[in-house]
Amino acid sequence: MLEIDDRTGEAYVMLAEIARRQGQPEKIEELYQTLIAKNPAFPNVRLYLGQIYEQRDQLADAIELYKEEAL
């Protein structure tokens, strides 16, 4: 089984890209939420997750993430 090094976020982003190519938006969301929980300072992850929420018309959630990223 593949294990992810929690000290880096690049692996989560790469796995999310694989999930995107496979059409698995729920998996993408799960990966980005996990990354935010484990490494809140990882750059741009809230933007990526916000884009997922925008696609689902979850605009309030997307805006909240964009605000968090801007801080």
Across the 71 residues of the chain, what is the mean pLDDT of every consecutive 10-residue run? 67 94 95 94 93 95 95 84
Q: Is residue 12 part of a domain?
A: no
Tell me, yes or no, whether 54 lies in a domain. yes
Residue 5's pLDDT is what?
A: 63
Residue 24 domain flag: no
By C-alpha distance, which of 40, 58, 42 is closest to 50?
A: 58
HSE-up of residue 61 (Cα within 13 Å, Cβ side)? 13
The DSSP H or E segment spanning 46 is helix 45-55
Confidence (pLDDT) at 8? 72
Domain count, the chain: 1
Specify if 47 maps to a domain.
Answer: yes
Domain range for 41? 29-71
In a domain, 63, yes or no: yes
Query: How far apart are the two ends of the chain, measured CA to CA in Å?
Result: 37
Residue 65 is assigned to a structural domain of this protein: yes
Q: What is the pLDDT of residue 71?
A: 84
Q: Is residue 64 part of a domain?
A: yes
